[in-house]
Amino acid sequence: MTDLIKNTALPCVEDYRADLTAEEIAAATAANARSIAMQAYLFAFPAFLHLRHLNDIVQGLRYMAPGQNPLGNWFLLRKLADATNKTTVSPNVDTLYGAAYLLLDQQGPMVLRVPPIPGRYYSVALIDAYFNNFAIVSPRTFGNDGGDYLIVPPGYDGPVPDGIRAVLASPTPIMNLFQRIFIHDESEYAALYALQDAIRLIPLDQWSPAGGSPDDESIDYPTADLSAYEAQGMSQTRDPLQFFAYTNFYTGVNPPPAADAGLMALFDSVGLGPGSRLPDDPALRQAIAQGAAEAQALMNAGITSGPFRDGWTVPDPLIGRAGPHSLSRATCQLTAMGAFPKEEAMYFFALRDAAGDRLDGARGYTLRFGPGQLPPLGQYGFWSLTLYDDRFLLHDNLLDRYALRPDSPDLVFAADGSLTLTIGAERPAGVPEGNWLPAPRGPFAVALRTYLPQPVIQDGTWFPPGLMAA
């Protein structure tokens, strides 16, 4: 290392100079802006995705329900994803989804009402403007009996009426909610639609204990100024300077934690961060754009390099949480937007087999769980294995089968309790059709999702076996 330093054309420590040319000063200033922009991009990336998703939800509800207030009403998906979906990457086919947004600083406190949902997994995740989960209502946290939960903005010190089960304080004025309800098959649609509709958001001043609140049609959601959240074409944004213009605004509206004040001051020194104004100097703007590109390259490097184990990605233990791990948080939201923390769910993705070779449906693979080696889960937890093509979309096949789960029809376990799943373009002779997951003739990927994983999954003691090539 010492020889490397000696042979590198870099200034030594405390090698001061006061005779730099204007060009050298400009180059050093641009390098500083570039390095700061790289970190600012990583920090702001989840907030950008949150703003973009809010923008999409607002515009979607304006189109689908023009008479409704987009804030407080749910955007509900009434059917499972299938191969006709060409927009959402890596969708699950295990739960019905819903999404809602709140501007708590303009709308005030809201009550989340969750009905009793017996005998199955459900969740309502509460997520701040940086896509961090700050609360989850699920069987793990509050059981299946339902209840009313008060959602309040930062700094709220108002009353908490009787009948409220818990107060859930959002770290940011703008937040969103994702609801998920487990579905066995399409025969449950009607029953689950009723449950979806019964998960409600009610302004605190219109709420009364269970049974006495207004029905959906009579709820008067407080209005909010949405002009900043209806930007046409935002989903196609590729300009890094436009990215920073959006995130300077959005992180200003949703201030980061006080602990990040020093970092925000550093970002502001080059015109980035909450409420900052981008510089006019073309050289600095170019440096900022370069820093954003380098940050994206770093994220791509992280996705590509792993870590991996037996062909599977090793889940990040910090996934879905707030904290100083900017690279981890940005990469997580790039690949699994709105992901849960490990206590609620853990996701394993594989693009390679146990030998490290790229998965290809023309070869065929087996995934074998030995006796007693299925994912260990809590009550109402479930696991699923979902297959995607090389674009991370569901693969169209004659069986319309996109995933396998323990409750999949005709799934066959061995006498010793082991389970062997077969993945490939063709079903080998002797393999039960119920154990076959069709794949394209070419590259593909699989995702093993575990909901309500036990601690042995969370700490890595249990890990899925690798896919074995035929």
- The tens digit of pLDDT for each residue in 126-142 reads 999 999 999 999 999 99
Q: Specify whether 319 is located in the same domain as 437.
A: yes
Q: Give the pLDDT confidence score for residue 217 in this predicted structure.
A: 62
Q: Are 33 and 291 in contact (CB under 8 A)?
A: yes
pLDDT for position 88: 81
> How far is it, in rounded angstroms, from Cα 427 to Cα 276?
58
pLDDT for 5 equals 47
Q: What is the percent of the chain with per-residue pLDDT over 90, rounded to a whole number?
A: 77
Residue 106 falls inside a structural domain: yes
Q: Which of 223, 245, 271 is the last residue of a domain?
A: 223
Q: What is the CATH number of the domain that holds 197?
A: 2.60.40.1610
Among 166, 195, 223, where does a domain finish? Answer: 223
212 pLDDT more than 80: no
pLDDT at 468 over 50: yes
Return d(Cα 37, Cα 288) in angstroms, integer: 5
Domain of 424, CATH number, reads 2.60.120.600
Question: What is the tally of structural domains in the chain?
Answer: 2
211 and 68 within one domain: yes
Q: CA 37, CA 326: separation in Å to the nearest integer?
A: 13
CA distances to 15, 80, 262, 323, 327 from 259, in Å: 34, 41, 8, 10, 18
- Provide mean pLDDT across the span 237-243: 93
108 and 156 Cβ atoms separated by less than 8 Å: no
Residue range of the domain that includes 127: 52-223
pLDDT beyond 80 at 285: yes
What is the share, in percent, of the chain residues with pLDDT greater than 70?
96
Compute the distance between CA of residue 351 and CA of residue 353 in angstroms, rounded to an integer.
7
Lowest mean pLDDT among 14-18, 172-176, 203-207: 14-18
Which residue(s) pair with 294 in the sheet? none
Query: What mean pLDDT is predicted for residues 376-387?
Result: 98
Q: C-alpha distances in angstroms, 206 versus 66, 216, 297?
A: 23, 11, 49
> Residues 249, 251, 253, CA angle at the centre, nearest 5°?
70
**Chain-centre distance of CA 246, in angstroms?**
20
pLDDT of residue 171: 97
Q: Is the pLDDT of residue 54 over 90?
A: yes
Q: Domain boundary residue among 180, 201, 223?
A: 223
Contact present, 181 and 124 (Cβ < 8 Å) = no
What angle, 0 to 180 degrees and rounded to 10, lies between the N-to-C axes of helices 326-335 and 22-64?
Answer: 40
